[in-house]
Structure 1
Amino acid sequence: MKRYKSVFLKWFCLLTVCILVLIIMAGNVLAADFTGKVQIKQGNEISKGTIFVLGPKYCLELVQYGEKGRIIVDTEKNATTIIVFSEKEYMNISSDDMISLMNNPFQSYQYSLTLGEEEFMGSETLQGYECEVYQIVIADTPALTKWQAKDLGFPIKIAQHGQQKRTIEILDIEEKPIDPQVFAIPEGFSKWVDPESLPGKTPEWADDIADAPLLTPPFEENMGAGDIIRIKIEPGKSLAVKAEGISESGAVARVIPFKGTISVKDELRFNNFAKKEVICVRNHEMSSEADELVIRVYEGNVTLLAKWMGMFEKEASAGEEIRYPISGKEYITTRFINLTEETAEAAFAYYQNGKPMEDDTPAKYKTITLKNPWNVNSATREAKGDELVIKVNTGKMQIKLGQFDPFEF
């Protein structure tokens, strides 16, 4: 399972690069066939790669953080394939998947168009190509600028403005036929398996759980290596756990949700909250997915502090609506679980003074779809207006949400 964890982190790095590619390609119907060198600048960091464009498809090869990757995008099929060579694995996602568009450091050019307006800024020549310059403005602030090469039908430069300034440019462009094999998955590569979809296993130390003390927060407890504490999950509450008095040699401690004697995920998938820089960990699991939260110290000695956090929690079926009052500007933590054998779907909207707020965000980005039984969706959402309204459209869900300061225990 360590292997799955490392692969997952590598995929996340490559997803960031995938968004860069989506930004470059957004808005093109058909481009000329060509290849070129890609240079990505952010601050003092520079990443380099090669891009191949063949009609509606393009492929970016890049080495990032020592990891060689290939990103293949088919704009006609709205499909993206990410290949990691060291693991001989690949992953398929939709090019406009919310994971790609919203959970990365910046949004794609195409998605940004739904949030602002595109303005024509004039013409400019880059690398001998006449370019039309366009800029997306969101809330009167420049967000992205692209230089679209007219003869190529493709942007050869993108500049991202704001706090995360980043420039993507295609250099040494060569117009020539592209080998279609560039877009094929290499022989012997297998499809990546999301570790979140893998069932948990019974840890070697699981026999010790039954004899461990069952405590009710809030409490403070001194714990050493091998010590275990159990906490029953309670409706409308999430657990916050903090480690103090960490031994000089360091410590490793985790909070692991259990259903019976089985961990809901592999134990190594849960963060070590005994690192000195960690404020605390918060567990939002609900009774439909776990029975207990088991705290175990793997290494070192710690003083453990645990407390409950009040959260809103409710089961809701198709046609039912949840209205959550928003207090302040702290982000809203949400968790949805599918309680049916079929697809469950819910939509959310922000309200102010009892009325829906104006929002140009496409409906699919405000919809939670859980296709399989016990699927979970967890996200942190912006606090806007004075009320978050969630309506279940199909199926049945267990829903939990709340606001808290992430920098305080």
Structure 2
Amino acid sequence: MKKYTFVYLLIFFLSSLPALAASFSADLVMTKKGKTETAKFYLLNQRYRMEVVEEGKPMVVIADKDKNMHRFLNMEEKTFFEIPSDDFRILTHDPFKASQYMVSKYGRKIQGSEKISGFACERQDVFAQDQRIHSRWVSTELKFPVKLVSYDGEKEAYTAELKAIRNIRLEKDLFAPLAGFKEVEEPGAAARRKREEIEKAEEALPGLTQTADARVPCYVKIAAGGELRVSIDTDRSAYLDVINADKAESVYTVLKYRDGKPLEDYEPRQSTLEGKGRHKNWDFNDDFARRTHSSLVDELRIPVTKGLVYAELRQKGIDRSDVYNRGGWQTDVNADPGRPLSLKITGDNPFGDQTTGKFWLRYEEGGSSEAIHFTVTTGKTQTWAYPASKRIKTVAVTIPRGEGRAKISLIQPPDPKKAASAQTVVKTTPKPKTALAAISAAASPAASGSQILDGEVPLYKGARVLKTKSAGAYSQAQLQVEATPQDIVDFYKNAMTAKGWEPGMAMVQGNKGVLMFKQANRQLVFKVKGQGNTSSIDVTIISQ
């Protein structure tokens, strides 16, 4: 009886002891893009240590699960720094932490058991949108993954496997900073603090809450109730980028104006941006609009009814481009290598009295100049001039984040050949001798069989010619006639086809109609708008 009592006491004593902590060393073999590296790996209960080489330097990475901290030791400089283990940056340095993150985010599916490196393991697969993205094999004995695989489609993109695992007794000192090592800031800490300061300053910058005017280029913060008005040139393309600066949603409208009046045929609608950083691009006065003089805009108005947005507006043309660099970007501006150019940079830093950056000149035959550094005072402009002999095709301007903002203008003199061909000739009716004659001339309808635009286009019977104009590659006429848009479209569809023009789009919707033709390298466009019993017609011929 005493013998059995002793056995029971021994079993009770052993079962009351804490479980033995896992303690082992191994070779960590990592393969990525066909390149294999081997590191030393040590694990003791809730801590593990990886001895790796990063950027040619020996580093030690220690993960302490109890303290939720990762420690990085630079063995050459005898320094160390610490980063919280839940910091997203850890995932690029620790494959086991990356595996844990994917399992916590997407869950896991048990796919059976396999033996890896001599240890019985449970295979766990991770799926995202029904696509397998990760697998890991967790040892039931070690309670730790001994193999990891990440996938790019069906292919293995990255593997990490513990090999030559040896159960040995490790000391806690192996997972602490070595004697004589100095604690330092983590790399990029100063830059991150500066970035955080900039973000706070950005958030503190008040948005426009009333109506204000600006000129291209500009980058303006607009709050609910504010409205930005910007005049733009009709002979250059214009580009607007509206960026949400609110954590929630922002609501704004883009209004198009011409000669102080809302643009005809344009129905403004509210736009919504959900989430900070979301943006939408708009463009105006493109090549087609400039050739046909249709939908040209000379003023944009941007009222904001909810939230907070930034509006950035720039323009680019043959002889001049005006763009904005808000910092943290490289802005490329193209030039005609055959002409001299003038580069102007104006400081526009809302957080300080100057902007600092640099730019490069890229040449037509290839290559670029050395970096040209600049520091420009807020509100002041610096100018650089370069001759045509430099054959510059692009100017690239960089302003580091936190070093300010700038308006950038690249100006070139007009090309003499293009300037000559673009001279505008306006055809006008001879001036009547009396006021009564002027009224009579304006009211005289065209006779049947009359032609306009150098005989290319027949006049609709009874049509009044309000204006004709030729400018370079295009010719235009404005007419008025007592007829419906459908009647006009039908007439010109038959008439122009008979004259050898190939019909394209033909559409009548409500009181509006559009009709398009092609002939060799020319385009012909009719735009019709009806009002009551009268319709106005814009006729444009474009030579390619």
| TM-score normalised over the length of structure 1 | 0.46
| TM-score normalised over the length of structure 2 | 0.36
